[in-house]
Amino acid sequence: MDSQSTATATATAMQDRFGCCFRNWMAQQHRDLDELLRAVSTDSGDAEKLKCLAGKNIQHFRDYLEARSQLAQHDAPSFFCPSWRTSFENSFLWIGGCRPTMAIRLVYSISGSDLEARLAGGGTGGDDNSNSSSINLGEVSASQLRSINELHIKTVRMEEKLSSRMASMQEEIADDPLALIAKWSGRAGEESESVERVMKGHELSLARVLTEADELRLETLRELVEGILTPLQAVELLVEMTKLHLSIHEWGKRRDSVLGKV
């Protein structure tokens, strides 16, 4: 009895730490977004400062991923269907987060729409303000486009590798040993040491694939921000990414509350 309540308490504490880690990250992103937006409006000519700021943002992302990688050693499965995120967000998760190629897709959609807005002649005086926030992503150069394309092709390949590993792990559930343990057990869900051991093994595999997916997410963003885009473009991309991430969380929360889930 006692040990069970202790275990429950530990589990709750663990969940709290997970939720806390996520909430800290969201709060950090809110602060970062303010800072990024300020920089775009006041320091858009100061490349060094923008570079510094972009680097700081990448570091914050790295810190968050490191923190959750530590936590995932204790309970990786929680990160694949996190209770601290909304069901809308969770349904679009790829190995515990967004697809690494999302950052590239975002560059395409933003830079393309900026260009279109100017070519299509939507740029009457009044529209200039709404476009000014990401005007520089509309100016992705030919060589940048080539580099982005190469990064895209490379990232897709890595994503596919991880997806395929994930698929194998999912299929392994119906394989030896779990499937056979279930088959030979007296009643459904019978406890045993071997089950615990096997489940722990699966959890650790999940933790490993999560860490690798996080590394790919970070590395793709870092290469875009520090290797390909100009500092101003990089800051603008970070603005759009952060905004999108925060917005989807808020929209998901609203949706959940409408459905009476919270």
Partner 1 sequence: MIDLVCPRMLSEEDDGSPAKCRERRRRRIDMRRLAALSTAGWLPQSALGPGGGRVESPCVSEAKRIRTSDRSCLPSSSSASSGDDAEALVAPTQPQPQPQPAVVAEATSVEWYGVMSVSGRSREMEDAVSVRTGLCRPELNQRRPVHFFAVFDGHGGHHVSRLCREMMHVFLEEELTRVREQRADEDDVWREVMRTSFQRMDELAMNTCACGSVGSQCGCHPMEVALGGSTAVAALLTPDRIVVANCGDSRAVLCRGGKAIPLSRDHKPDRPDELARIEAAGGRVIYVNGARVEGILAMSRAIETFGGSGDKYLKPVITSGPEITFTARQAEDDCLILASDGLWDVLSSELACEVAFECLREGGPPAMDLNSGPAAEDNGSHSLCPSRSVLAASLLTRLALGRKSWDNISVIVVDLKKS
Nearer to partner 1, 86 or 101 (CB): 101
Q: Does 236 bind partner 1 (CB under 8 A)?
A: no
Kindly report whether the peptide bond that precedes residue 177 is cis, defined as omega within 30 degrees of 0: yes
**Element spanning 119, H or E:** helix 102-119
SS3 annotation, 21-68 = HHHHHHHHHHHHHHHHHHHHHHCCCCHHHHHHHHHHHHHHHHHHHHHH
- Number of alpha helices (DSSP H) and beta strands (DSSP E) in the chain: 10, 0
Nearest to 130 by CA among 109, 116, 114: 114
Q: Is 187 helix (H, G, I), strand (E, B) or coil?
A: coil
Q: Does 72 bind partner 1 (CB under 8 A)?
A: no
CB 109, min distance to partner 1, A: 8
Q: Does 121 bind partner 1 (CB under 8 A)?
A: yes
Question: Which one of 20-28, 53-61, 75-83, 227-235 is the stretch in contact with partner 1 (CB under 8 A)?
Answer: 227-235
Q: Does 152 bind partner 1 (CB under 8 A)?
A: yes
Nearer to partner 1, 28 or 113 (CB): 113
Nearer to partner 1, 78 or 136 (CB): 136
Q: Does 1 bind partner 1 (CB under 8 A)?
A: no
Of positions 89, 114, 214, 240, contacts partner 1 by CB under 8 A: 114
Q: Does 122 bind partner 1 (CB under 8 A)?
A: no
- Length of the chain counted residue by residue: 262
Q: Does 93 bind partner 1 (CB under 8 A)?
A: no
Question: Which one of 33-41, 76-84, 115-123, 201-209 is the stretch in contact with partner 1 (CB under 8 A)?
Answer: 115-123
- Residue 257: other Cβ atoms inside 10 A: 11
Q: Does 230 bind partner 1 (CB under 8 A)?
A: yes
Q: Does 32 bind partner 1 (CB under 8 A)?
A: no
* Number of residues in contact with partner 1 under rule CB under 8 A: 40
* Cross-strand partners of 94: 97
Q: Does 232 bind partner 1 (CB under 8 A)?
A: yes
Question: Which one of 66-74, 90-98, 117-125, 170-178 is the stretch in contact with partner 1 (CB under 8 A)?
Answer: 117-125
Phi, psi values for residue 59, rounded to 5°: -65, -40
Q: Is residue 162 a contact partner of residue 216, using CB atoms and an 8 Å limit?
A: yes
Q: Tell me the one-letter amino acid at 190.
A: E
Of positions 7, 81, 153, 179, contacts partner 1 by CB under 8 A: 153
Q: Is 168 helix (H, G, I), strand (E, B) or coil?
A: helix
The CA distance from 130 to 22, in Å, is 31
Of positions 53, 140, 213, 237, contacts partner 1 by CB under 8 A: 140
Residues that bind partner 1 (CB under 8 A): 47, 101, 105, 108-109, 111-116, 118-119, 121, 123, 138-154, 156, 160, 223, 227-228, 230-232
